[in-house]
Amino acid sequence: MAGGAPAEEVLRRRAVDYARGELRWLWRHHRRAIPYAALYEGAKFAGLQLGLRHERLPAAVKPRLSALPTYWAAQRG
């Protein structure tokens, strides 16, 4: 993938590029929104990490954190 570079490395590089670009744009146009954007992106990252490790979460917690709680109800039954 990407000329032989490991997928994780490529993904990390693209994430850093995205964050830099977003911060640059916010700095130019909406400086006051930077703290909100940092919290928003941090929450997205935390959600992604939880989703990748959902096997470690208790079954009762999964529907509460999910956009599709009925999916997890079907998994239980």
Q: Could you give the CA distance from residue 77 to residue 71 in angstroms, rounded to a whole number?
A: 10
pLDDT for position 24: 96
The tens place of each residue's pLDDT in the chain, 77 residues long, gives 455 668 888 888 998 999 999 999 999 999 999 999 999 999 998 998 888 898 999 988 999 888 888 888 777 76
Cα–Cα distance, 12 to 32 (Å, whole number):
27
Cα Rg for the chain, rounded, in angstroms? 17
The domain segmentation of the chain, as residue ranges, is: 7-76
3-state DSSP call for residue 17? helix
Tokens of 36: 């909100």
